[in-house]
């Protein structure tokens, strides 16, 4: 297998606003695309390669530094390598909170408490957990919490996203009458409304 840097350089992304994936080494399987990067699983390993878009390479350095800060905290992936435009971290077996909701997999009070604890431990390291949403929190196959996409954990301004998600859990989701399986288009619509600040919780 090629080394991590060679694998990252094999990933070709169009240098425009569309960020089209043009090519990648055959040993990489695409598993996700975010606002700043593509994420691949490296075949025959338990590792994921995150390759940043050409206009977001500065984020690679920031996120690598934050992962190094939280390496002793079990709720965050291990960072194995980092370069100018990539990171190599654990590939997480499990489901995001978004997937749990769309699949009807129960989210428990214990999960919420564990996420709270994970974020508090990051704060003790001098970070400011921000941009916490349904797609960057995993419940692993062992029912443990893992948090990814930590690039915004150093921003200065206050972020209420996790507080609002937790409030929604207690006000709505935890009630026995509330549906535990929600279609993705409804979740995406709620997120869009929330981003426009039309849905205070």
Tokens 């609002």 belong to: 164
Distance of CA 45 to the CA centre of its chain: 20
Of the residues 25, 131, 149, 164, only one is catalytic, namely 131
- CA-CA distance, 72 to 3, in Å (whole number)? 25
DSSP 169: I
- CA-CA distance, 81 to 108, in Å (whole number)? 33
Give the length of the chain: 201
* Sequence-separated (6 or more) residues with CB below 8 Å from residue 78: 71, 89, 90
Is 55 annotated in the active site? Answer: no
- CA-CA distance, 149 to 132, in Å (whole number)? 9
Neighbouring C-beta atoms of residue 56, cutoff 10 Å: 17
Q: Which residues does the annotation mark as catalytic?
A: 131
């Amino acid at each position: 297998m090629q080394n991590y840097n060679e694998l990252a350089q094999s990933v070709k992304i169009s240098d425009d606003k569309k960020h089209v994936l043009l090519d990648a080494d055959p040993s990489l399987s695409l598993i996700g695309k975010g606002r700043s990067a593509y994420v691949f699983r490296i075949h025959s390993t338990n590792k994921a390669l995150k390759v940043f878009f050409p206009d977001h390479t500065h984020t690679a350095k920031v996120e690598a530094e934050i992962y190094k800060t939280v390496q002793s905290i079990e709720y965050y992936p291990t960072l194995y390598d980092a370069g100018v435009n990539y990171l190599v971290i654990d590939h997480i077996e499990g489901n995001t909170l978004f997937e749990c909701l769309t699949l009807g997999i129960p989210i428990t009070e214990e999960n919420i408490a564990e996420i709270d604890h994970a974020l508090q431990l990051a704060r003790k390291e001098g970070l400011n957990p921000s941009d916490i949403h349904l797609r960057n929190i995993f419940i692993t196959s062992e029912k443990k919490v893992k948090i990814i996409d930590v690039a915004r954990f150093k921003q200065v301004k206050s972020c209420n996203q996790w507080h609002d998600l937790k409030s929604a859990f207690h006000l709505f989701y935890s009630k026995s009458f509330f549906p535990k399986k929600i279609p993705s288009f409804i979740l995406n619509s709620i997120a869009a409304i929330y981003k426009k600040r039309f849905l205070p919780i």
